[in-house]
Structure 1
Amino acid sequence: MPTPLDDWFIREILVHEAPLMQFLVRSAPSRDEARDLRQEVYARVYEAAGKALPQQPRAFLFATARHLLADRARRGKVVSIEPVGDFEPLHVLIDEMSPERWCGGRQLLRRLADAFDRLPDRCREVVWLRRVEHLSQREVAQRLGISEKTVEKHIAKGMRLLAGSFYGGDGEARAPRPRDGGADMEVAMEPDGQRQSD
C-alpha cells in the first residue's frame, strides 16, 4: 500500500525522470553510471522528504543531483589506494605519522583557514553553518533570515572562492583587477611584502 510520501514522490519527483537523466548522462562517464547516480539521487531525495517535504521539489531534485556529482568529483580527486596482497614486504607502519605529514597537514589547514577567513562575512557564515555545522539549507535560511536561494548562492560562491584560493595558481585569493588599470586596483603581494611580478 503506497504511503502519502510514496504518492508525493511519484507525483512530484518521478515526473522529472527524463530531464534528470539527460542532466546526469551529460555529467557521468557512462549511461550505466548515470542510472546508478539517478538511484542515489532518488534515495537522497526520498530520505530528505521523509523528514520534511521540499517546497520546490524539482529544484530540490536537481540540487541534490548537483551535490551528488560534486561529491563524486571531490572523491575522484582523492588518490585511490590499490589493495596489495601482502603488506609485509612494504615495511609500512600504517599508524605512523611522520613529521613531514604532520607539518604538511598543518600547513593545509592553515591555508584553508586563511582562505575561509577571506570569504565575505555573510558568505563565510553560510558556508560555516551549512558545511561545518551541517544545518540544512532551510535551517540556514531561517537562522539568518534569508531565502534558501540566497543560501544556495552563498554556498556556490563560497565553494568557488575556496577552490580558487586552494587550487588556483599560488593558492592566494585576489580581488579581480580592473581592466582599465586604474589607480584603485589591489596589488598582489608576496608573503615577504614584495610586489608580485605579473
Structure 2
Amino acid sequence: MAPTPPLITAYLEHRAFLLRLLTARTGSAAEAEDIVQEMYERLATLPDGGEGVENVPAFLNRMAMNLAFDRQRSGSRAAARDGEWLSANALVDGPEPIAEAPTAEDVVGGRQELRQLRDAIDALPPQGKRVFEMHKLQGRPHAEIATSLGISRSAVEKHMAAAMKNLLKRLGRRLE
C-alpha cells in the first residue's frame, strides 16, 4: 500500500480547523463542508501529491479561502444573471416575482367563456356564421370573403355587424 501523500495527511490533521474557518467565512456549515470535500478531491488528484509545498498549513488555508471566494463569486454571478433574466422576463411586484401561469380558476373560467363563445357562434344563422368565422377566425378581409361567397362587400359587413350584435347579446355584453 502506497504511503499517504503529505498534503492529504496535513489536510486530515487540519480538517476541523478548515471547517471552522470556512463556516465563519461563508456563514454556512453545509457550504463549508462542501468546500472541504472539494479540497480533498483536488488534493487527492495532485500529480506529485504536493511534494513541493513548503508551508503546508498556509497552502491549505489559501486553498480553502480561494475555493470559498470562487463559490461566492459564482453565486454572485448566478444571482445577477437570474435577476437580469427575471427583470426581462417576469412581472415583479415587491420582493417576489409574480407567476405568469394562470390560476386553476382562471383556466376553468377561460374554458367556460370559450365554450359559451363557441355555442354563441354555433347559434348564428348559417351565412352569418360562415362570414364571422372567415373574418374573425381565419383573418380574411371583407373583400375576399365577398368574392369567395359570391355576395357583395356590403353584405359581408352587414353579416359581420349582425353576428357581432348577436354574440354580444348572447354573451351578456353591451355594445360599446
TM-score by length of 2: 0.44
Higher relative contact order (CA 8 A, sep 6+): 2
The structure carrying a bigger helix percent of its residues is: 2
